Amino acid sequence: MNLLVKGAGFREGYAMIAGPGDGILKMLEFGRVGVVRGRPYEGDTGAREAVFDIIAGICRLEVAGGAAFDKVGGRADPFVAGPTLICLPPGTRYRFTALSATLDMAVSMTPADPGLPVALIGPNDIPENRAGAANWSRTIRPGTSVAPATRHLMMAETLVPPGNWTSYPPHKHDTENPPNESIYEEVYFYLFKPAGGYGFQRVYEPGDGPDRLNEIYVVEDGDAVAIPRGYHPLVAAAGYQLVYIWTLCGVNRVYGAWSDDPAHVWIRGAEAIMGQ
């Protein structure tokens, strides 16, 4: 099973990266949207909710039958500032107009019940937090994982220093065992600084069954990996900062409902000793 999708870089319009049509994911669709100044991008969420994460650029957002939002976003890249997330419920007709030369966005979508309002989550609305210690420390920008702006999508970012590990100790969320663990599909989307950087993504399951996942990918700028199940630790190469945009999608919506690999869970105790 190949979970890796190589990046095509910025391009105008919508490019699907992973979704139910690929035979790996069942609920979650993830893609990238490029908008050029002077050529607005329009769409309709239909029966799905959508969350747009502005990677770079600034825009005007117009929602049919609703308000318009000016000067949304504005960061030059994800390494200098946190994200602006635009949460659109089902049945929303929308229009993005780039106010910068280009507008680059990641987008997650999944079927959902209507009823929630349009919501904008800016970089200062939800505090960042630190996780891990030593060379597995990183900064988490929680986004919709802690904001009640969606039914099923938890979209956020993690900023990883050069050479550091993340999603560590390895964890999984592929078994329904509430409140400790719930089933969530996930996509990781990688951005490096400098852009020639790379990292290593592992996705694995315990045991030795014939269908066991045990994959390692070299991931580069603009790549993505779909994670239907299994543990999924990640490391950035020395010398290269990493930001990865991640989206969890499941029937339930409880951030932190995962379980650590028993072989490596001792690292949690080391974090307490070393200090985060």
> Residues 70-92: what's their mean pLDDT?
97
**CATH 3.40.190.10 for domain 9-274:** no
Structure tokens at 102: 């280009």
Indicate the burial class of 1 (C-beta count within 10 angstroms; 0-12, 13-18, 19 or more): exposed
pLDDT at 53: 98
Cα–Cα distance, 127 to 143 (Å, whole number): 9
Compute the average pLDDT of residues 17-38: 96
Domain extent listing, the chain: 9-274
d(CA 118, CA 245): 21
Per the listing, tokens 């190949």 go with 2
- Tell me the torsion sign for CA atoms 15, 21, 24, 30: positive
Q: What is the pTM of this model?
A: 0.96
Q: Kindly tell me if the per-residue pLDDT of 147 is higher than 80.
A: yes
Strand-pairing partners, residue 95, are 42, 62
**pLDDT at site 63:** 97
Contact 254, 183 (CB under 8 A): no
For residue 11, which of 40, 33, 30 has the smallest C-alpha distance? 33
Of the candidates 55, 56, 15, 51, which has an alpha carbon nearest to the alpha carbon of residue 33? 15
| Cis peptide bond upstream of 169, omega within 30 | yes
- Could you read off the pLDDT of 190-213 as tens digits, one per residue? 999 999 999 999 999 988 888 899
CA distances from 79 to 39, 41, 157, 242, 244 (A): 27, 25, 11, 8, 10
